[in-house]
Amino acid sequence: MKKNEVRQFRAALREMVRELGMLSRKSSGTALSPLQSHILIELNSKPSGATELAVRLCVEKASMSRALRSLMEAGYLLREHDDQDGRASTFRLSETGQQRLLFLEENADRFTEEALASSAEQEVADFLETITRFSGSLRNARRQREAGMRFRSIEARDNAAIAAIIRNSFRDNKIDHLEGVSLHDPELERLSEVYSQPGTGYWVAEANGEIIGGAGIAPLAGEEGTCEMQKLYFSRDVKGMGMGRRMIAFIIAQAADMGYRACYLETLDELKDAVRLYEAFGFRHLPERLGNTGHNSCGICMLRTL
């Protein structure tokens, strides 16, 4: 995204936060702060300790401790000590806390109903889907930042690590028995050399200083102006962190910057999750292969105009 688009997006989110009353104690109809309100909501689902709550609510433990103490003083929480660990405690709602949460929830329900009252049924469904998706994107971005995730061009020292990730991915998906797939490419152990040629590139993803995946592009033989997205694989240890989505978007941007007009890929019927990702990023299915990739076991061919 361009910087002005990012700023517009942030401005819209700020406005939403303000209108939701996240900067005011009055919006919930109580004297509770937004953090205190969220604590009551979380504890209603599951009694928890301070550390667990801090992680779930994405706040520092010191802030959590202060908020818990104030809720205890107000009589909204009960504290249960761990007999095996005297320093550990579990918090749960008191009867007064349950009553306060009920009032808070009913007030929030009314406000949300009022906000949605002027929207059509399909608009409401679209709002929910968009908010849910973006919440997941925010969560993944936070986890990626905490892991120090970054993309960089492949180097010779990365060859063994990325080759191992590719092989393990085929094993994990139980498709290592297939012939005519990238697992058997003769250049698998020297990707840094292969992707040093003009019009090519391979980028590895690092998290916590370790290689966790990668992807590349190269010219598609016989198709001028079209590149092929190649060898997009990640370690199973980072599954669910949005790494694949982030890499696909990155590769598309790199291909456009390199002057390609379209990006092609081939994949397997067994990799249904990957296919859904490609579809989400605008890749459309083709009735037949383009170029000559040598991967004759791949039954799915897709193309995206850049």
Q: What is the pLDDT of residue 175?
A: 64
- Give mean pLDDT, residues 227-240: 91
Q: What percent of the chain has pLDDT over 90?
A: 71
Start-end ranges of CATH 1.10.10.10 in the chain? 3-118
Cβ pair 281, 249 in contact under 8 A: yes
pLDDT band at residue 295 under the 50/70/90 scheme: low
- Give mean pLDDT, residues 185-193: 84
CATH code, 150-305: 3.40.630.30
Per-residue pLDDT at 133 exceeds 60: yes
35-63 exposure pattern, b = at least 16 Cβ within 10 A, e = fewer: bbbbbbebbeeeebbbeebbeebeeeeee
pLDDT digits (tens, 9 = 90+) for 68-113: 999 999 999 999 887 666 567 899 999 999 999 999 999 999 999 9
pTM greater than 0.75 (yes/no): yes
Q: Is 75 left (phi over 0), alpha (psi -120 to 50) or beta?
A: left
Strand spans (E) along the chain = 77-81, 89-93, 150-153, 201-207, 210-219, 226-234, 262-267, 284-285, 300-305
pLDDT digits (tens, 9 = 90+) for 153-181: 999 999 999 999 988 888 877 766 555 55
Whether domain 3-118 has CATH 1.10.10.10: yes
- Give mean pLDDT, residues 129-157: 94
Start-end ranges of CATH 3.40.630.30 in the chain? 150-305
